[in-house]
Amino acid sequence: MATLAIALGSIILYIIAYNTYGKWLGQKIFKLDKTAIVPAVELEDGQDFVPTKKGIVFGHHFTSIAGTGPIVGPALAVMWGWLPALLWVLFGSIFIGAVHDFGSLIVSMRNKGQTVGDVAGKVISPRVRLLFLLILFLALTIVLAIFGLVIAKVFQMYPQAIFPCLVQIPLALIIGILVHKKGGNILIPSLIALVIMYLSVIYGDVGWLHSFNIYLANEWSVMTWVGVLLIYSYIASVLPVWTLLQPRDYINSLQLISALALVVIGLFYAGIFGGAEVSGVRPALEIVAPAVEKNITAKQLPLIFPFLFITIACGAVSGFHCLVSSGTSSKQLRSESDAKFVGYGSMLTEGFLAVLVILACVAGLGLGANVDGSMLTGVDAWDSKYADWGSSAGLPAKIAAFVTGSGNFLASLGLSRAFSQALMGVFVASFAATTLDTACRLQRYILQELVGCFVYKKDIPRPAKPHPLTNKHLVTIVAITIAYYMALIPGAPGAGPGTGGLILWPLFGAVNQLLGGLAFLVIYFWMKHKKLPTWFILFPTIFMLILPAWAMLYQIFGQAIGSTESWIEQGKWILVAIGSFTVILEAWMIIEALKKSQSIKKLG
């Protein structure tokens, strides 16, 4: 019953948090005004600034911020024990992550939809703007490279997920055009599309479609998939948001939320009646992982402090979310009053997803895991996936643990294990794909702003006619090209292409969390300028600046101490190069912020 208690308690806690702390932030701190003119209305252009219903923006925002982060991170972090992971997800998402996302959204909406990088130049200094934009560029390049590799790996692991993911694209285009041109409610056509998508999961791997899926999974290399996915993200990022981004994310949000609902129903059903039969017996749903792992040395676990707090990024707090909040969502909300639902509510929803991932890995996995043709249950199933840190740290291992565990929840309802795992494979790939195309659009904004720092003079307004070097097609092609070659880098001499990109995964967590700390820094100074209370974000700001830097420095230097191999021989030169540059940029930015803080004190 502990599994059911955790799931139900998490739901209740999040509802309370939304209606208390979230309400306090919206009414007393940010003072949301439904009559205020928002960027989507003031700057409407039919391309990026498009006034949109909050339900649609929520769908875009939630699917964009979630990605595979709240799946991969918690699925690995449970190795320290499910209790530390659960506590960090619950309280991190309520008091740090949701505040970060909500604050970034408000800061952007109150500054004509500008990104937090642009706002940093206003509230701290122009030099900080450039430094922040460089960090954003590095972070988004890592996201594009890694998430392209993640989707490629998912397709190779679960070929049955390929056709259902591909069919989403034409469905989204049809809905986007129909709703935008003809008007009307997006819900009905999206529900029809949702039914089609579920049918594609059921019938998308039979007959010639099975051969189609197997061919693409086996004949297309990982880097071929990455190239195709990045080209798709280029197309999605330069099209108007209403054609593909909004309808695809909305359809995906319905599919993902409905899949989450099925997982929750399956979890409760398994908790009462047991899981699907294994050797004629329905195994009981119970937590098979330790609450706190005591065999640290045997499991080869890194230090829980700080690494737990960067391993679980999305799901507790994620710097990438500030880019979605200030890069796309702030340009679509048609009223300030919708900001709490989108900014604070989406993060709590993602937190609950992370809770379900934890439960799938520590309890759902115990309902059955197929290992070398044998079906293991209980602690044996857990040990088969979590023998030690090294064997569990790879992306395929973490994805497989979640897909197996959550699939077991669905299988307890009477669904076949094959269908259940196919649906969860589509679930993971769809999340990653929505993050990929949103990240590409965001990278376009960042590169346009970066180029603008050099091609426009500081003392005059930017001209109405954009500079040729800020052309959206040019900068987007540059963005996906850099990301592709980063993913292509071999991890070590003689290693295959793509392994270098996967080495960046540990760095993703640290850079991601560092970005969150820097976003908090911008929010803090903006609130100081507006004479708003800042006491409640002081601890999150300091916490999110120190821990990621500590973890990053350890990853760069600590792991190399005592090793006879050089960084190049270990295949970590790209991690060292990007990590070192990021730490330098962070230190520089903090120094600039401290100088600004001193000037504010003198004026005050």
Beta bridge partners, 278, equal 281
Sign of the Cα torsion 168, 169, 174, 176 reads: positive
How many Å separate Cα 265 from the centre of its chain? 24
Backbone φ and ψ of 56, nearest 5°: -70, -40
Residue 330 has what DSSP assignment?
G
Instruction: Check if the beta carbon of residue 152 is closer than 8 Å to that of residue 161.
Output: no
Instruction: Check if the beta carbon of residue 463 is closer than 8 Å to that of residue 542.
Output: no
pLDDT of residue 561: 45
* DSSP assignment of 14-64: HHHHHHTHHHHIIIIIS---TTSPPHHHHT--SSS---B-HHHHHHHHHHH
Peptide bond preceding 70: is omega within 30 degrees of 0, i.e. cis? Answer: no
Structural tokens at position 379: 């602690």
Structural tokens at position 303: 């230090």
* DSSP assignment of 513-576: HHHHHHHHHHHHHHHHHTT---HHHHHHHHHHHHHHHHHHHHHHTGGGTT-SS-TTTTT-HHHH
Locus of tokens 């792991």: 559
**Alpha-carbon span 326 to 133, nearest angstrom:** 13
pLDDT lower than 50: segments of the chain: 459-460, 560-564, 566, 568-569, 603-604
Backbone φ and ψ of 333, nearest 5°: -65, 130
Burial of 260 (0-12, 13-18, 19+ CB in 10 A): middle
Containing 496, the helix (H) or strand (E) segment is none
Containing 217, the helix (H) or strand (E) segment is helix 208-219
- Count of CB atoms situated within 10 Å of the CB of 47: 14
**Alpha-carbon span 175 to 482, nearest angstrom:** 32
pLDDT of residue 494: 60
Backbone φ and ψ of 180, nearest 5°: -70, -40
- In sequence order, the 6+-apart residues with CB closer than 8 A to the CB of 76 are 311, 392, 393, 398
pLDDT of residue 275: 95
Q: Which residue type is seen at 534?
A: T
- In sequence order, the 6+-apart residues with CB closer than 8 A to the CB of 25 are 99, 102, 340, 344
- Count of CB atoms situated within 10 Å of the CB of 481: 12
- In sequence order, the 6+-apart residues with CB closer than 8 A to the CB of 144 are 230, 233, 436, 439, 440, 443, 479, 480, 483
Instruction: Check if the beta carbon of residue 109 is closer than 8 Å to that of residue 39.
Output: yes
Instruction: Check if the beta carbon of residue 231 is closer than 8 Å to that of residue 488.
Output: no
User: β-strands 369-371, 374-376: how paired?
Assistant: antiparallel
**Alpha-carbon span 324 to 103, nearest angstrom:** 12
SS3 for 184? coil
Instruction: Check if the beta carbon of residue 342 is closer than 8 Å to that of residue 109.
Output: no
pLDDT of residue 298: 85
pLDDT of residue 453: 82
**Alpha-carbon span 108 to 117, nearest angstrom:** 10
CATH code assigned to 2-458+467-603: 1.20.1740.10
77-93 per-position pLDDT tens digit: 999 999 999 999 999 99
pLDDT of residue 456: 73
Q: Which of 536, 532, 545, 561 is nearest to 593 (CA)?
A: 545
Question: What pTM was estimated for this model as a whole?
Answer: 0.92
198-223 per-position pLDDT tens digit: 899 999 999 999 999 999 999 999 89
